[in-house]
């Protein structure tokens, strides 16, 4: 039982990722064929395009909802261990892809 919600979220994201990587490694070993990934040719450009696409993917709907009055912001919350939440969100997004 993990009392800290940020750490619980991180563990909840890491476990499925670990199982997915393990199963992918197993299938890769069994298949013994190379998997072509074009991400390694220009990783900086790929990360930049992915970051920009993600910001637009989330930003446009939020701005539209805010502009139409459907979404309102009513103050701020202090988030403990924000970097862990960001890491968890990154793992979650990677797992969904």
pLDDT, residue 33, reads 67
Number of domains comprising the chain: 1
pLDDT tens readout for residues 21-58: 899 888 888 887 666 666 678 888 888 888 899 899 99
Query: Is 83 within a domain?
Result: no
- What pTM was computed for the model? 0.49
Q: What angle do CA 68, 70, 73 make, to 5 degrees?
A: 105
Query: Is 26 within a domain?
Result: yes
Domain that holds residue 12: 7-33
pLDDT at 97 over 70: no
Average pLDDT, the chain: 86
Distance of alpha carbon 23 from alpha carbon 29, whole angstroms: 10
pLDDT tens readout for residues 67-95: 999 999 899 988 888 999 888 888 888 77
pLDDT, residue 55, reads 92
Query: Is 86 within a domain?
Result: no
Query: Is 42 within a domain?
Result: no
Query: Is 46 within a domain?
Result: no
Distance of alpha carbon 93 from alpha carbon 13, whole angstroms: 10
Query: Is 89 within a domain?
Result: no
Distance of alpha carbon 87 from alpha carbon 93, whole angstroms: 10
Secondary structure of the chain in HEC code, one letter for each residue: CCCCHHHHHHHHHHHHHHHHHHHHHHHHHHHCCCCCCHHHCCHHHHHHHHHHHHHHHHHHHHHHHHHCCCCCCCCCCCCCCHHHHHHHHHHHHHHHC
For residue 71, give both structure tokens.
Answer: 């979404």
pLDDT, residue 66, reads 95
Query: Is 58 within a domain?
Result: no
Query: Is 28 within a domain?
Result: yes
């Amino acid at each position: 039982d993990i009392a800290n919600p940020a750490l619980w979220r991180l563990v909840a994201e890491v476990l499925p990722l670990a199982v997915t990587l393990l199963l992918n490694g197993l299938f890769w070993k069994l298949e013994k064929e190379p998997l072509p990934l074009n991400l390694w040719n220009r990783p900086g450009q790929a990360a930049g395009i992915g970051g920009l696409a993600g910001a637009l993917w989330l930003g446009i709907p939020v701005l539209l909802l805010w502009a139409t009055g459907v979404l309102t912001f009513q103050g701020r919350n202090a988030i403990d261990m924000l970097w862990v939440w960001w890491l968890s969100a990154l793992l979650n997004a990677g797992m969904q892809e």
